[in-house]
Amino acid sequence: MDPHLLRTYVTVARLASFSEAARELGYTQSAVSQHIAALEQDLGAPLLTRRPVTPTAAGERLLEHAAPLLLRLDAARADVVRMAAAPERGLTLATAPTALGPRVLAALPRAGVTLRVLARDEIPAAVATGTADLGLVDGIAAPNDPLRLPDVAPLTTHGVAEEPVCVLLPDTHPLAGRSALRLGDLAAARWLDAPDAGVPLARLRAANGGGAFRPALRYDGTDVRVLTALAAAGHGLTLLPRSAASGVPGAVAVPLTEPRVVHRTELVYRGAPRGAAARLAGRLVERERERERLRE
Amino acid sequence: MDPHLLRTYVTVARLASFSEAARELGYTQSAVSQHIAALEQDLGAPLLTRRPVTPTAAGERLLEHAAPLLLRLDAARADVVRMAAAPERGLTLATAPTALGPRVLAALPRAGVTLRVLARDEIPAAVATGTADLGLVDGIAAPNDPLRLPDVAPLTTHGVAEEPVCVLLPDTHPLAGRSALRLGDLAAARWLDAPDAGVPLARLRAANGGGAFRPALRYDGTDVRVLTALAAAGHGLTLLPRSAASGVPGAVAVPLTEPRVVHRTELVYRGAPRGAAARLAGRLVERERERERLRE
DNA sequence: TCTTCTTACGCTCGGCGTAAGTATC
DNA sequence: GATACTTACGCCGAGCGTAAGAAGA
């Protein structure tokens, strides 16, 4: 189970071709053939059907393991080499755009923290590789359920906030007067496609158990104000945590009641945070504890 | 970053000796030295101080990544080879002893499922290697927080139940009359040490932020009734979910109010469950949804 | 001086490329 | 018969062991 073999295997599976994979990896196709043969011999089972080149059942299973394994190998290497060239930075907090709710902002110390806003998917990687000491990710989830994070390193998560999810509608929208909405009613509408700033459309479909959720304009940045402005201007709908959706000029935030999902924010860190990172983590989590106490 | 090199590295770090590691791994100590040198050259940083042999800062970081990586490599291999020899079994559910709450039991289908009770730590591994299709793990956690699972494969978790945590006291115990207890008040008491059936003592200390929690009798099995009987007989205290702690003859269950923790049960599965596994997962989760609806 | 890690050196075998072979569309 | 994977074979280098060297207790 040499990582080199795994890498060629996933490449072959992805491209469905030995020769294509060889080209991409800079090997001869003979070498690729030998790699696959070695893996199959090692594991004692065929992994690919030839002609067409398709993973077998065992091969599918291996793919599920191999991709994250390779990711983690890279992350580990990146982390250690970065440490080696450690330029002794301060405390860095990587955050998804909509994870910066009022509660989190209130808990931030007045100085000494570098804030870095990244796309949601990049945050676990940033924490894993040590680019950031702490991460804040958010997403919609069933209440009480952890978020699904890309799996790049052994990370610990801690819920820091949950708030209702709202649909941001322009004032002029026929449903703007409603006091609550169901996601299913909006499956046929046009949605802003902003995977890095808002909620990815695929996530909406998953939460709703299907539906079109046709993409309107696509926005690749991470600026929430751009997103709210686009929604207010009628370029499409978007889902946001209530705190981010309220108070947008020209738009109204209507809470989503079905399916029962919440906007959840989680703190992500590596192992046990130490020093300044531990203090900041403590403050973020303490906020959540207080809130729970008040809720009862 | 050859896994062989990583393996020797973690072994050397663990044993704090090149020669000891060589003996354990079946290499000469020269080979071990070369492995470490290769790794250090590859990563461009010293990983170990010699004499005494201790990880450097970068080395510590590498250790955090390496151990889970090696675990996952093994899990991946085990999973694929098991698939190759697939004896086409039915649906298997691996569960921790105290995860079998009333709600879960009610959701189980009448037939067609193999139930396997394992120690808590073994369950992620069982799901990762395909020994089980679904897993149920439990533990105490801050409300709304995911459990910390050993990291052996990309697994998805889903909260299925949360219930109060109780201390199980013998009738005759001086605190048996209390209506609620704080964990800190019991830090000096003797506790049953049953990491596989109950809550590990280390977890208690972590939840309480320290404290002795001196071990009394140790029980290595997974039978909850043994645990409750031991507690009733005065062999030590133990923490259990309310449903498991109530109705024990000769003992009373007193709820724990401080720290604010709950007994949480999570469903663990690999990727997207399919077929019968998906149906069972759906039933377990549906139970939780119903319960949430009722709670409001 | 003894223990323990490092370095030098030679050997073997793993793994890649070239090229011929084979199977499938 | 063209395309794409497999097998044969030779070469090179990675990696191990033996043995000598260096450095710390």
pLDDT tens digits for range B201-210: 888 788 777 7
Of the pLDDT bands very low, low, confident and very high (cuts 50, 70, 90), residue B290 is low
Chain A contacts in chain B segment 88-107 (CB below 8 A): none
Which of A259-263, B38-42, B143-147 shows the highest mean pLDDT?
A: B38-42
pLDDT at residue A146, as a whole number: 85
User: Which among B80, B145, B159 has CB closest to A43?
Assistant: B80
Write out the two tokens for B232. 């009733």
Crossing angle for the helix pair A57-84 and B29-43, to the nearest 10 degrees: 80
Q: Is the pLDDT reported for residue B29 higher than 90?
A: yes
Averaged pLDDT, B208-234: 84
What's the pLDDT score for residue A32? 95
Q: Which residues of chain A have pLDDT under 50?
A: 295-296
* Torsion sign, CA atoms A158, A163, A167, A171: negative
Q: Tell me, what's the pLDDT at A294?
A: 53
pLDDT at A296: 46
Segment (H or E) for B60: helix B57-84
CA A212 to chain centre: 21
Rounded (10°) angle between helices A18-25 and A29-43: 110
| Residue A293 pLDDT | 52
Between B267 and B113, name the one with better pLDDT: B267
Confidence (pLDDT) at B11: 96
The pLDDT value recorded for residue A230 is 84
Whether the beta carbon of B166 falls within 7 A of nucleic chain C: the reply is no
Most trustworthy range by pLDDT among A34-43, B159-168, B269-278: A34-43
Residues 19-78, chain A: which have Cβ under 7 A from strand C? 26-28, 30-31, 34-35, 38, 51-52
pLDDT attached to residue A47:
94
Residue B138 has pLDDT above 80, yes or no: yes
Side chain identity, residue A187: A
Phi, psi of A90 (to 5 degrees): -85, -160
Could you tell me the pTM of the whole model? 0.83
Which of A65, A77, A290 has the highest number of chain B CBs within 10 A, making it the mutation to test binding with B?
A65
Q: How far is CA B118 from CA A59, B96, B212, in A?
A: 28, 6, 28
User: Bigger pLDDT: A244 or B276?
Assistant: A244
Cis peptide bond upstream of A273, omega within 30 = no
Residues across chain B: 296
For residue B74, the model assigns a pLDDT of 92
* SS3 assignment, position A104: helix
DSSP B186-248: GTTSEEEE-TTTS--HHHHHHHHTS---EEEEE--S--HHHHHHHHHTTS-BEEEEHHHHTT-
pLDDT at B296: 46
Inter-residue contact A145 to A220 (CB < 8 Å): no
Q: What is the pLDDT of residue B114?
A: 86
